[in-house]
Structure 1
């Protein structure tokens, strides 16, 4: 009899819990309307962000005559990829593409390595002049001599008309060093202390403990560095005046957007070019769309794979000052 009474009490308590739990999480009509409005607003915002890239792409693969007449707005018509194939016949464009790719890869790799190592060093209490060096790095974020002194400095250092002008100045990135330093400070000190007790050097601690644990923030600054290197054209425009073969892809885009007729002449004199290629070369509008899409595609392809690291790293790297 006591067991039956206990079962009834448990059943009653369970029903009371379910009723309370259900009422707690029941959404009102106002909440449902708010959620619908949120979904609609953010869906429209997403479409607004994506549509320019979609519009650019469909105009590069549609019939060139229809593109010139402005008849391609939402759906591609007369699909072909001749415009992209035609760009392969332009030697200057391919050399610029190689320069941009190598600059992005090497420049980003060296920047990430330097930011990680410097960020680790300035967290070590035994480092000589640690605070002075760190403040010296940070102060460069607030004071800039200007474009002309920067050019004269680069000229005196022999970094004009040379590929290293793309690599060396960007190795030390103060903002990225701050992010890495802040992230490393969030790693438990016990890990380093136990490694030091076992006789590990700073280099070994950095390579086997700090570097693996810092992958989220390193991926974050890698995104910053890659996007910055890929999109930069000011240094190419100013420093490579006598070396057209070292122009970046963005610099070429800048030139072609202002002088599309020159690209048309290059395409027509490029040897064995298909009829569709020559046809696209006659349209500056199609040329601009195609080259713009080529410069955007690499970032669009790489960013989704790095996004999960980006979100985690940027939040953890901004917790402490």
Structure 2
């Protein structure tokens, strides 16, 4: 029909040989990079389910040899593992929740022009990213405030994280200011604006902060090594550190005992080698945190991009 413009048809994208070659190279390079990143985890898993003797000799590299799963029941019998898992889960959940809430609130407050001393406090917070008092002064402070041999040493010192605050602040600055103005016209105070307007809209960046915090909390063992001597407060990562250091002695004790009474640790390690203990405990400790990424991945990319670049 004359006078009615026809909708333009989209032209098919024609790839040149150079485009195809470029795609092949890119996919190959990134595929190899992904394999390099995944292989250490795969290596741990196949060695934990292979013959302990072959694993100790280093013969297990690409496929399991002498497949068995007996290492895992024996490792789960290691004393203190269940309690350490509970401590690690508790510190990860509470520490992540506290860090997310503090980062969200401070990131929001640092965008408020009416905040008293806003520039000073923001810069004061950022300075801590570049300067540290050192191990001994920090230990003396932790001891002075009564956090040694205290579960809260895993939570309180990590609440204020400058990098996370920067991400949240930049994300909040990209949100329309008119939302806060409309809420204040309706009579909302600053806490109501934060809780009802901004907090529900921070989900992508808070998921990013939660991933960073959860991984850091789960993998931390230095604070246990420095501040904790109470065995009931040991974490999984610290037990992994201890078992790796003791693996040779545990395996030797189990192998040298013929019908005699074994200690609790040595009896749990019976039939194992130092390598099997190390790789099996490492798999048990690493796998839980790996499952966090698929749950939060859809928020992670969006959050880190919006929190890193002011829109």
Cα root mean square deviation, aligned: 2.5
- 2:304 alignment partner in structure 1: 314
Map residues 245-284 of structure 1 onto 2, 5 A cutoff.
Answer: 245-264=232-251, 268-270=262-264, 278-280=270-272, 283-284=273-274
Q: CA deviation at 1:263?
A: 4.2
Unmatched segments (≥5 aa) in structure 2: 255-260
- 1:184 alignment partner in structure 2: 172
- 1:40 alignment partner in structure 2: 28
Map residues 61-140 of structure 1 onto 2, 5 A cutoff.
Answer: 61-140=49-128
Q: CA deviation at 1:300?
A: 1.1
CA deviation digits over 1:95-154, x for unaligned, max 9? 222211111110110110111111111212222222222222112212211111111111
> Matches of 1:51 and 1:250 in 2, distance apart?
21
**Aligned to 1:187, what secondary structure does the other structure show?**
coil
- Out of 278, 287, 290, the residue aligned to residue 280 of structure 2 is 290
**Aligned to 2:270, what secondary structure does the other structure show?**
helix
Q: CA deviation at 1:219?
A: 0.6
- 2:145 alignment partner in structure 1: 157
- 2:258 alignment partner in structure 1: none
> Matches of 2:300 and 2:170 in 1, distance apart?
15
Moved runs in structure 1, 4+ residues, more than 6 A? none
The structure having more radius of gyration, on CA atoms, is: 1
**Aligned to 1:145, what secondary structure does the other structure show?**
coil
> Matches of 2:262 and 2:271 in 1, distance apart?
9
> Matches of 1:112 and 1:210 in 2, distance apart?
14
Structure 1 contact 118–177 (Cα < 8 Å) conserved: yes
Aligned residues: 303
> Matches of 2:91 and 2:250 in 1, distance apart?
24
Q: CA deviation at 1:68?
A: 2.4
> Matches of 1:227 and 1:31 in 2, distance apart?
39
Matched, 1:167 2:155: yes
> Matches of 2:169 and 2:99 in 1, distance apart?
14
Structure 2 contact 92–214 (Cα < 8 Å) conserved: yes
Q: CA deviation at 1:318?
A: 1.1
> Matches of 1:194 and 1:268 in 2, distance apart?
71
> Matches of 2:107 and 2:262 in 1, distance apart?
52
Structure 2 contact 95–159 (Cα < 8 Å) conserved: yes
Distance 1:123 1:154, change over 3 A: same
- 1:53 alignment partner in structure 2: 41
Matched, 1:142 2:134: no
Q: CA deviation at 1:269?
A: 3.6
Structure 1 contact 256–262 (Cα < 8 Å) conserved: no
